[in-house]
Chains A and B, each alone.
Chain A
């Protein structure tokens, strides 16, 4: 068995498991109370916050823990667009953002705001000039000032790397354009947090612990000082009044331990995984005819590679790979609950059927990758033959 779906969720890091077990005994009390066990829980929580802040290069009091990465994105997008209501009602997003960003944008639109979606090139990199124009309100789409009032931009959102194809986005450059226009930038760092250093210049950061080897149920929302934020949910005193509900202290402690461990290992392990990804990117088109390898070949997340096989149904490919012992994911429409192809692949204008995303967790062995490369050609050939494709 080889698990190649780290971009969905990374298996728990051993350091997270240790930290979790210990914190279940020591960090169970309510960190908001004023007695011994509560103080201990609070201390653990604040230590975890400081560790996370250090890895992300911000202040501890700028960090709030959420229930998930998705919740962090929702609160980040909606909180800043509410907080900056007077500055403007326009939200700028790239076309390949995670669905959590796009769904939050839909809520913003329903509340009377406007959303401008900036396109990407064939490899999934956002059109930076168009992004800048949208942020400044200069693009044709923004021209009408569609009743949002003010015509200004409340917030721009850009992922650090794409979750389906691994392409890195020009976050530093986008942050500079936003700073010049006085517009905050939300960076969805779910795919790179703990795997690659974060570019600076962001105003809001969202990330998810289970993607870096922490437990599920912990997200991170960081809001830099000076960024106006107004909560979209009923008020609650937890997490700097940003996130409602009782903190899961043991899970947060484990998430921080995993983040530190992953960040420490990332330079070496990232380079190792990246070399395996290079091998897949080179070998798949050599071994399998009619394949398109998708996304940026070099400026990419270290662990993600995506390709599409012509004349192959994505669902059949996933099933055959599963039988052969490989867990991978797909952006093909037949594998989606909506029966629509992935919006990322559509925006890039690349082949959406026969799509496979391989994302390598830490510790992936060369032997596993070799075995994958050994079984893939026959699997693809078999599915094509069943569909009556002459090769």
Chain B
């Protein structure tokens, strides 16, 4: 269990950029993501830290609409999520 977990963590790509949108209400976290995704190289990962419950649904939906890749969402110990998005183009 532990080794698989570690392997998965190693396989996961470290974010090239972290956007701190904690305390910001939707659509601001998404506006920040849309503005800044171009700052990472192609196939690079952006992590959005957000605690507005709407962001949990809306960032994956944004990825679908904008043809980027939602890598995954991880709960943060202090509440909210780190939502990882890979730049596709």
Say yes or no: is B30 at the interface (Cβ < 8 Å to chain A).
yes
Q: Would A346 and B65 count as touching, CB distance under 8 A?
A: no
Q: Would A346 and B57 count as touching, CB distance under 8 A?
A: yes
Q: Would B31 and A351 count as touching, CB distance under 8 A?
A: no
Of residues 306 to 352 in A, which have CB atoms within 8 Å of B's CB atoms? 310-313, 332-334, 340-341, 345-346, 349-352
Contact partner, B57, options A290, A292, A313, A352, Cβ 8 Å: A352
Q: Would B27 and A292 count as touching, CB distance under 8 A?
A: no
A340 to B52, CA, bound (A): 8
- Chain B residues within 8 Å of A292, by CB: 61, 65
Q: Would B65 and A353 count as touching, CB distance under 8 A?
A: no
Q: Would B27 and A341 count as touching, CB distance under 8 A?
A: no
Q: Would A333 and B65 count as touching, CB distance under 8 A?
A: no
Residue of A nearest to B60 (CB): A349
Q: Tell me whether A387 and B31 are in contact in the complex, defined as CB-CB below 8 angstroms, given that A310-B65, A351-B62 are known contacts.
A: yes
Q: Convert B13-41 into 0s and 1s, putting 1 for each residue whose CB lies closer than 8 angstroms to a CB of A.
A: 00000000000011110110011000000
Q: Convert A339-374 into 0s and 1s, putting 1 for each residue whose CB lies closer than 8 angstroms to a CB of B.
A: 011000110011111100000000000000000000
A310 to B52, CA, bound (A): 16
Say yes or no: is A375 at the interface (Cβ < 8 Å to chain B).
no
B interface size (C-beta, 8 A): 17
Contact partner, B26, options A290, A346, A352, A390, Cβ 8 Å: A352
- Chain B residues within 8 Å of A354, by CB: 27
A311 to B34, CA, bound (A): 9
Question: Distance (Å) between the CB of B35 and the closest chain A CB?
Answer: 8
Q: Would A353 and B34 count as touching, CB distance under 8 A?
A: no
Q: Would B65 and A388 count as touching, CB distance under 8 A?
A: no
Say yes or no: is B53 at the interface (Cβ < 8 Å to chain A).
yes
Residue of A nearest to B25 (CB): A334
Say yes or no: is B58 at the interface (Cβ < 8 Å to chain A).
yes
The number of chain A residues touching the other chain, given as a range, is: 20 to 34
Question: Distance (Å) between the CB of A382 and the closest chain B CB?
Answer: 15
Q: Would B65 and A352 count as touching, CB distance under 8 A?
A: no
Of residues 100 to 123 in A, which have CB atoms within 8 Å of B's CB atoms? none
Say yes or no: is B54 at the interface (Cβ < 8 Å to chain A).
yes
A19 to B54, CA, bound (A): 45
- Chain A residues within 8 Å of B62, by CB: 310, 351
Q: Would B25 and A351 count as touching, CB distance under 8 A?
A: no
A351 to B27, CA, bound (A): 10
A312 to B54, CA, bound (A): 13
- Chain B residues within 8 Å of A311, by CB: 27, 30-31, 34
Q: Tell me whether A341 and B57 are in contact in the complex, defined as CB-CB below 8 angstroms, given that A310-B30, A313-B27, A388-B31 are known contacts.
A: yes
Q: Would A349 and B27 count as touching, CB distance under 8 A?
A: no
A350 to B56, CA, bound (A): 11
Of residues 217 to 267 in A, which have CB atoms within 8 Å of B's CB atoms? none
Interface residues of A (CB under 8 A from B): 290, 292, 310-313, 332-334, 340-341, 345-346, 349-354, 387-390
Additional pairs, 14, CB under 8 Å, beyond known A310-B65, A311-B34, A351-B62: A290-B65, A292-B61, A311-B27, A312-B27, A313-B26, A333-B52, A340-B54, A341-B54, A351-B57, A351-B58, A351-B65, A352-B26, A353-B54, A387-B28
Ordered by A's residue number, 9 sampled pairs between the chains whose C-beta atoms are within 8 Å are A310-B65, A311-B27, A311-B34, A313-B26, A333-B26, A341-B26, A349-B61, A353-B54, A388-B31
Interface residues of B (CB under 8 A from A): 25-28, 30-31, 34-35, 52-54, 57-58, 60-62, 65
Question: Which 4 A/B pairs are nearest by Cβ-Cβ distance?
Answer: A353-B26, A353-B27, A351-B61, A341-B54
